[in-house]
Chains A and B, each alone.
Chain A
Amino acid sequence: MKLLVIEDSARLRRSLGHGLRRMGYAVDLVEDGREGLDYARFNDYGVIILDLMLPGIDGLTVLQRLRELGRKTHILILSAKDRVEDRVRGLELGADDYMVKPFAFEELCARVASLARRRHNQKSPVIAIGPVTVKSAARVVEVGGNPLPLTPAEYSVLQLLALKRGKVVSKERLLDEIHDSESFAGTNVIEVLICHLRKKLAAAGVLGIIHTRRGHGYLVES
């Protein structure tokens, strides 16, 4: 899943970017509100992490403009403003969640995962596909109760296919899920990842879960 972090603190941007990428997300990092609004308008993000006090355009204005443009991206406000009226204002303007700085990185990840599930109308953090279980809260995959070692990118691809099980997901959509906006990787990266996934699943005794639809993309049966 691709995330957009709009945060004016360079140091916080750096640690968040590193952490979230290591969690398997594709992350775009933006410093000011105006640039953040442009990124949000022209990209499809799973979740936007938005600071409120931003140079250029403040966070609430970014939020308001995005909702006015009809963007339904889940937005999590991450701000030092802790007053009730600030939180209420943010949520009233269309934010899906609000976190006050300083925060626990674990909690931020859990909230991002929760928003990501909501995007796919998936309430449970556990998705079962036959013997394969995708646990989105811990970002792990298990086969028959045993963990399947996956890279963050492999996990992200499998998770998206699981969330959209029964539907064909295009290579471009999968690529968009694992790479940020500044990446120039081609769709063959997805083919390689799918190949690795099938091999790891086969090694664990699971065959034929991921199906190829030539010219369209990939599918996991529901």
Chain B
Amino acid sequence: MNPHLPSIRSQMTLRVLAGTAVLLVASSSFLGILFHQRIVEEYDDALETRADALISVLSLDKEVLDFDFNEDAMPEFAAPEPEDKDEDSDEVSFFEMLLPDRTSLRKSPSLAEHTLPWSTGAPPEPDEPILWNSRLPNGRPGRLLQVEFTPELEDADEEEEPPEIPGEDVDHVLLPDHANLDKLRVVLIVGRSREDLNETLALMYASLAVLVVVVLGGIAVVLRRALASGFQPVDDLNAQLKAIGPDSLQDRIGLEAPRQELATVESAVNQLLGRLSAGFERERRFSSNVAHELRTPVSELRSACEVGGRWPDDPKEVRALFEDIHAVGVHMEKIVEMLLTLARCENGAMPVECERVELAPLLRACWQRVEDEAAYKGITVDLKTTGGLFTISDPSKLQVILQNLVDNAVGHGAPNSVIRCSATQSGSSPVIRIANQPEELDREDLPYLFERCWQKNAARPDRQRAGLGLSIARALGDLLGIRIEPKLEDDGTFVVQLILTGVET
């Protein structure tokens, strides 16, 4: 396993966590903003309520403003006790009433000699309050409300004075001379500490952040377990694939917990292993066969050279050894040429030039070349060809295919047997059929017939055959689109059938 390669598991974990984190942060931000606004609104509502309460206790009575402020009813505006100055200062509220020209009319006891900051901003609507944050006189962060209003006029028709609550005195505020009583406007500024608001907001944001982290952590744990469980069949597949080596190609993948997604991979790998195993086995046989095929000529060469070199005084014998060396060289050259032909066919490096080819003359020429060998073995050839039978093929390569098959039929044919060869039209395709009686061939030999260097009997007196003829015939047949089908009939007759490309009339 290459540790530098990216892992699907890690990538999925990172991507899911990143996606979840983005969604969580976005949703918690949205919620945070929503809650923030709502909390501030509620805070401001409370401030407005206080402002309304103060406005409601202010009325204009002729030339005097009556300010019916009861400190007991609104203790938050009271001056803090010296001993509670630090503890309760965040609960202390302030107000100041002023004329629009900033002439102070009244202040809350809590404000003492200080003044509240003045907002120069314009309200969103007339008589609507302006709300803003600013530093309070006690140095703490505060929330302030500034509203301009017209004080309520005392009812002139009201004859009876409302009964005065004992201990509660109405404060009569004298207006300055320049005050316009007809259009009297009063500005009220109310302020209170926003430390508790800030704390609430901070707690909310911290809760949301913790929620995001906890949810992400939880998702990471769940995801890790889910991926570990989900990837178990993949791990199983990996382990089984890793265990496969050149010596265990017969083994097949079998997942303990099969999964639909891996079924195709499992099946494809098993099929591939099957082909690989067969290929390896074929290569092993080929290596063994070709090694054997080359060992004997190499032995011949080496022995001839060593003997000839040791006793060069017998010209007749040395000449004979040289002739042997030459013959071995020619034979090995033939093997090399055949192997190269096979390699070219397999690499697609063999040019094909197709044309209209008449089969009868081609077959007759092939049989003529083996006449002597057939006669020597007492083999009779029964050749039946239909005149005017054509195919589209590369004539030189088709001839090589036919010659190899004919050579094979005679070379492996039993002495004094009959070889039957026919070329007929079957449907749209010409078919060539060569049937002989092989000296020794079993049904189980058929799969190996076209393998390179395979020979039923490695001991051959002639040593001319290298076991490559049928391999070349098959390779060229594949190149030309000719199907070559071998068959061993019940009576021991070996039949090779070639199905060629027909000529359109």
Contacts and interface: CB of A to CB of B under 8 A. Distances in A.
Nearest to A53: B459
Contacts of A222: none
Interface range on chain B: under 10, 10 to 19, 20 to 34, or 35 or more?
20 to 34
B461 A101 contact: no
Contact of A101 (B296, B306, B311): B296
Contacts, number: 89
A15 B321 contact: yes
A103 to B, nearest CB: 6
B225 interface: no
Interface string A48-59: 000101110010
Contact of B303 (A15, A31, A53, A82): A15
B194 to A, nearest CB: 95
Contact of A104 (B302, B304, B311): B302
Interface string A126-141: 0000000000000000
B328 interface: yes
A80 B294 CA distance: 9
Given A53-B459, A58-B459, A12 B303 contact: yes
B299 A103 contact: yes
Interface string A1-20: 00000001111101110110
B220 to A, nearest CB: 58
Tell me if B's interface is mostly helix, strand, loop or mixed. Answer: helix
A120 B186 CA distance: 146
Interface residues of A, number: 28
Interface in B447-497: 457-461, 463
A105 B459 CA distance: 22
A105 to B, nearest CB: 4
A15 B460 contact: no
Interface string B301-331: 1111011101100100100110010011000
Interface of A: 8-12, 14-16, 18-19, 22, 31-32, 51, 53-55, 58, 80-82, 100-106
22 contacts: A9-B299, A10-B463, A11-B300, A12-B296, A12-B300, A15-B307, A15-B308, A18-B307, A18-B314, A18-B317, A22-B307, A53-B458, A55-B460, A80-B296, A80-B299, A82-B295, A102-B299, A102-B301, A102-B303, A103-B303, A104-B306, A106-B306
Interface of B: 291-292, 295-296, 298-304, 306-308, 310-311, 314, 317, 320-321, 324, 327-328, 457-461, 463
